[in-house]
Amino acid sequence: MADWVTWYSGLPAFVDPDPARAYWTAVGGPILVTSTKLGAAAYVDDRAIHHTGDWTDTLATVSRVIGLDHAGVPAQA
C-alpha cells in the first residue's frame, strides 16, 4: 500500500511499524500507512473527505473543513 501511495501521489509513504501508535504528527513528512484509525482533524477516504484525483482540491477541502485557509492559517470568521 505504501508503494501505491508513493507511486500515485509522488509523496513518500511507509507502513507503520508501531501497532500501539495513537497519533502521527510529522507535518510535511512522509505519509503513514496504517490499518489503525489514528486521531486526526480529518480523514481522506471513501467515507470522509473523498479524493477525486486532484490533490490541490482535496487539500483545499481539508483546509476548509478544519477551519484553515489554503496557507494553513486559521480562516477569518
Residue 25 to residue 40: CA distance in whole angstroms: 9
The cell 505504501 sits on which residue? 2
Average pLDDT over residues 33-55: 83
Single-letter code of the amino acid located at 45: D
Q: What percent of the chain has pLDDT over 70?
A: 86
Stretch 60-65: mean pLDDT, rounded?
A: 86
| Residue-level pLDDT at 39 | 80
The SS3 of residue 6 is: helix
Q: What is the mean pLDDT of residues 46-59?
A: 86
| Residue type at position 37 | K
Span 54-75, average pLDDT: 78
Nearest 10 degrees: CA dihedral of 4, 7, 11, 12?
60
- Strand 13-15 to strand 31-33: parallel, antiparallel, or no bridges (unpaired)? parallel
